[in-house]
A and B are shown apart, each in its own frame.
Chain A
Amino acid sequence: MAAQAIHQFAECITCHAWSPDHSMIAFCPNTTEVHIYKFFTDKWEKLHVLAKHDQIVSGIDWSRSSNKIVTVSHDRNSYVWTQEGQDWVPTLVILKLNRAALCVQWSPKENKFAVGSGAKSVSICYYEQENNWWISKVIRKKHESSVTSIAWHPNNIHLATTSTDGKCRVFSTIIKGVDTRGPHAGASVDWKFGEQIAQLDLSPTWAFGVRWSPSGKTLAYAGHSSMIYFVDDVEGSPAAQNLALRDLPLRDILFVSEKMAIGVGFDCNPLIFAADETGLWSFVRYLDERKVTPSTSKASQLSEALGKLYGQSRQGSSSDTVEPSKPRGGAHENCITCIVPLRKGSESIVKRFSTSGLDGKIVVWDLENHITIPK
Chain B
Amino acid sequence: MSFDAAGTPLLAAENLSLTRGGRDLFSGLSLQVARGQLWQVEGENGAGKTSLLRILAGLSRFGYEGAVTRAVNPLYLGHHSAVKALLSPRENIAWHPSGEADYAQADIDDALARVGLYGYESLPCHSLSAGQQRRVNLARLYLSNNPLWILDEPFTAIDHAGVAALQARFVEHVAEGGAVLVTSHQVLEVDCEVHRVVVGAGAAA
Genuine A/B complex = no
